[in-house]
Structure 1
Amino acid sequence: MAERRGGEYRREDASDPNLGTELAGFRIEGRIGRGGMGVVYRARDIQLDRAVALKILPPELAEDDGFRRRFIRESRLASSIDHPNIVPIYRAGEHDGLLFIVMRFVEGSDLKTVLRREGALGLERSVAVVAQLARALDAAHARGLVHRDVKPGNVLVVPSAEPQEADHVYLTDFGLTKPVSSEASMTDSGAFLGTVEYAAPEQIEGATVDARTDIYGLGCVFYECLTGKVPFTGPSAAAIMYAHLFKDPPAVTDITPDLPHRLDAVVGKALARSKEDRYATCRQLIVATQSALREPQTEASKTQSPQGPTVKEPDSGDPGDPVEKIFRAVKDAVRDRPSSDAAPADSGRRAVFDKVKGLALERLARPAAHASARRPEPEFTPPRYVIGFQSLSARSKQLQRWLLGSAALDAVVAAISSFAFISIARSAHPRAAARGALDPRWITGLQVVVFLIVASMFVVWFYRAYANLPH
């Protein structure tokens, strides 16, 4: 993820202590951006004298042994991907307790900045962007990698030199991928890896992720390109996560009515809550989009004829409603007086007649408008522990390891006490042996320590379930 803002770097970045320093053979020249997964710098490869994008991950991730090993292993695998829509990875590793990844420096803006500046991209441009991302993701999935953080901030847009050509798009941050069918999207310390606005339900639940997880993220990006808005919003991260788990997003045509209505089903399938209901590959999403755009668009609105609007009479209505009586009376007047000459001669009365006639035609042409209006759904912000406990229950394998560890400690204590009892029983002088054996109070104290360790594990775990939500 690399963006240089007009060739200059912001003044507040001068306080960054990393500026001007060297890290693993790279001189840091300026800060490009900051995100939840670290800080991206513009750096200079000292040996090859070329500009690169250097991303330094948060120190707490380097302290996670499991994440550190996975990061180095999968970064090497990601660096082997050669695709025109994937930012190449030059190097990844650890230096002075910091995890870093070095990528090609791309002159351009990220898609998040483009969307913030321009809003919705339009149909043709959105399809062009998503098609390139789909090819990049399918290439990664073919190598057994899941990106797991597909979002506009990880998409770089390089404007085309030719107006008739589409912008070139790069997908970045492939060093933070996971193998296909890997487990929960959290570190061993409980930190959520991802972005809640684009996270699939299985990521939030801590369940297994695969290629369809990226398809959900790609659907969120497609949705935002078409509408200028993310599928779900809320006052807190917990509210957004709850929406991903239990709600359906508004249709894209509800936000941008001029889009083809067939896109609602295409985007909706990509954003299905169940992985089994989504597309199997990103290419299927693009093929479905192209098929929807090729089919002719039916006219759902009223059609115009040379004689005027074609009016359909309402199927039902309250005959006692005074408004309905007026509409029926005017409808009869329109039928009985087909020409404008049949209107009253007085100009004032004729103007009133024409006005009521126009209102009647408009009302009759849209008889069910009042019935189709939908009440806005009330906002619901779930308690933080609702989402937290779902992540807690999903991490049952780690719970099993902790319980096995506590059981092993308890077994050790039991073995010590049993050996002491056997030695006393076999001794020719039991009383003397008992006085020389371990103090029973020490055995009891050890058992209390084991109990406190297990209890503290549960306390820490429940705290994570409540407080260590995605950020």
Structure 2
Amino acid sequence: MGSRSTWSRSKHLGKGSYGSVFLGLHKNGTMFAVKTAKLENSNSLVKEKKILKHIGNSPEIVRYYGDEITIEKGIQYYNLFLEYASYGDLLKLINKVGGRIPKEGPVQVFTRMILDSLCCIHAKGIVHCDIKPENILVFSSDRYGCRCQLKIADFGLAKEASEAALESKKYAFCGTPDYMPPESVALFYKYETSMDIWSLGCVVLVMFTGKSIWSGTDGKPLDREEIIQILASTETMPEIPKEMSETGKDFLGKCLQRDPSKRWSAQKLLDHPYVSPFSLRNIEFLKEYPTAVGVKRSRSY
């Protein structure tokens, strides 16, 4: 058990279903993210640690630095140490620049980054199960020729590929409704990497349009039960914008297939012209991103 003699918690960064996230400060001045939960409620954080260790140290995935149990005012806490995303998450980025990514070029670049992360996860036999903008973090990096890089984070709901969904639960897929694939509302199914591909297609739509995937005739987002009804009882598909490029429409067509066997894998999608290195253009917006959101580069733990 640790005494927090070498680190301390700083500002509160956010709160999730399985604990709170803080900025951690090491005594040597470096920064990292700390996910904290009471020890008796830490099963999901411990699971996330195991998955991150299984995936290994990859530049495409948020990095795991260690963990520690602390005792504070007589209460035991589990602390998971992770790479700090000084730019926040993809949803924050979208909101900061007006509610949608202003050009399709940056959407292509970001999609490529997310695909690189998915390839790494799927190669290890892991299905993330909750791909959404809030779980895609933005880091300082020059790797893609711009000032930031996206990495997938938050593996609390992740499953092993082909793992059976819990038969006792009517809808075992516990992801976010807007990004849930149709098969996730079936009574019996197995978790497959193709689920994340549907969710990827939904993220691309949100980046491009800035709108909810499923909306009513009044334009307001539908609630969970309404979305489940659409997925389970209709053939309705998310609307692909007419103003999107033809290659973009084709890319989404490879992701948003109701039949999961017809969706392209993340590895195959890397070869799609929409995200090929030769098509990644108009990234001037990305180079201005750090100034736009008013953040500075920081050292990572």
TM-score under structure 2 normalisation? 0.72
2:209 maps to 227
String of CA shifts for 1:214-262, please: whole Å, max 9, x gaps: 1111111111112222322334211123334432111222xxx2x2134
Superposition deviation, residue 36 in structure 1: 3.8
User: Do the aligned residues in 2 keep the contact of 1:53 with 1:102 (CA within 8 Å)?
Assistant: yes
* 2:86 is the alignment partner of 1:107: yes
Matched to 1:242, the amino acid is: Q
Structure 1 segment 324-343 matched on structure 2, within 5 A: none
The Cα offsets for residues 117-149 of structure 1, whole Å up to 9 and x where unpaired, read as 223322110111111111111111111211111
Q: What whole-Å deviation, never above 9, does each CA across 1:405-428 have from its counterpart, x for those lacking one?
A: xxxxxxxxxxxxxxxxxxxxxxxx
Alignment correspondent of 2:62? 87
- 3-state SS, counterpart of residue 265 of structure 1: helix
Q: Tell me: CA distance 1:146–1:112, structure 2 relative to 1, closer, same or farther (3 Å).
A: same
Q: Which of 213, 228, 241 is the equivalent residue of 2:195?
A: 213
1:251 pairs with 2:251 = no
What are the within-5 Å matches in structure 2 for residues 146-161 of structure 1?
146-158=127-139
The whole-number CA distance in structure 2 between the counterparts of 1:292 and 1:44 is 39
Partner AA of 2:179 in structure 1 = Y
From the superposition, tell whether residues 151 and 289 of structure 1 become closer, same or farther in structure 2 (CA, over 3 Å): farther
* Whole-angstrom distance in 1 between the partners of 2:40 and 2:223: 23
Instruction: Output aligned runs, 1:295-374, within 5 Å.
Output: none
- Asked if the contact 2:18–2:45 (Cα under 8 Å) also holds between the matched residues in 1, the reply is no
Alignment RMSD: 3.7
Q: Aligned pair 1:78/2:16, yes or no?
A: no
1:185 and 1:194 in contact (8 A); partners too:
no
**Alpha-carbon offset, residue 26 of structure 1:** 5.3
Structure 1 position 87, deviation (Å): 0.8
User: Counterpart in 1 of 2:271?
Assistant: 287
Answer 1 or 2: higher relative contact order, Cα 8 Å, separation at least 6: 2
Letter in 1 for 2:137: L
The secondary structure found in structure 2 opposite 1:288 is coil
- The alignment status of 1:265 with 2:254, answered yes or no, reads no
Worse-matched range after superposition: 91-100 or 26-35: 91-100
Gaps of 5+ in 1: 1-21, 63-67, 296-471
Contact 1:202 1:208 in 2 (8 A): no
- 5 Å-filtered alignment, 1:69-218, equals 72=46, 75-80=49-54, 81-92=56-67, 100-118=79-97, 119-121=99-101, 122-158=103-139, 165=146, 167-174=148-155, 176-184=157-165, 193-205=174-186, 207-218=189-200
- CA–CA distance in structure 2, aligned partners of residues 110 and 86 of structure 1: 14
- What is aligned with 2:295? none
Q: Percent identity?
A: 23
**Distance across 2 between alignment mates of 1:274 and 1:193:** 20
User: Which AA in structure 2 matches 1:79?
Assistant: K
Q: Which amino acid aligns with 1:78?
A: L
Equivalent position SS for 2:197: helix
Map 1:52-63 → 2, pairs under 5 A: 52-56=32-36, 62=42
Is 1:51 paired with 2:31? Answer: yes
Question: Residues 76-113 of structure 1, C-alpha deviation per residue, up to 9 Å, x if partnerless?
Answer: 24224222121111235777676553211121121101
Report 1:402-413 matches (<5 A): none
**Structure 1 residues 147, 98: CA separation in 2 closer, same or farther (over 3 Å shift)?**
farther
The structure richer in strand per residue is 2
Spell out the pairing of 1:384-399 with structure 2 (5 A cutoff).
none
Kindly report structure 1 stretches of 4+ aligned residues shifted beyond 4 Å. Answer: 22-26, 57-62, 92-100, 159-164, 185-192, 291-295
SS at match of 1:44: strand
- The structure that is helix-richer by fraction is 1
Please say which structure displays the higher CA radius of gyration: 1
Q: Which runs of 5+ in 2 are unaligned?
A: 216-220, 280-301
Look up the equivalent residue of 1:267 and give its one-letter code: L
2: distance between equivalents of 1:200 and 1:97?
A: 38
CA distance in 2, matches of 1:196, 1:23: 38
Alpha-carbon shift at residue 50 of structure 1 (Å) = 3.8
Shift of 1:165: 2.6
Q: Deviations over 1:409-448 (max 9, x none)?
A: xxxxxxxxxxxxxxxxxxxxxxxxxxxxxxxxxxxxxxxx
Question: Does structure 1 conserve the Cα–Cα contact (< 8 Å) formed by 2:48 and 2:154?
Answer: no
Deviation at 1:275, TM superposition (A): 1.1
More divergent stretch after superposition (185-194 vs 109-118)? 185-194
Secondary structure at the aligned position of 1:165 is classed as: coil
Deviation string, structure 1 residues 366-415 (Cα, Å, up to 9, x no partner): xxxxxxxxxxxxxxxxxxxxxxxxxxxxxxxxxxxxxxxxxxxxxxxxxx
Measured in 2, the distance between the counterparts of 1:232 and 1:127 equals 22
| Corresponding residue number in structure 2 for 1:399 | none
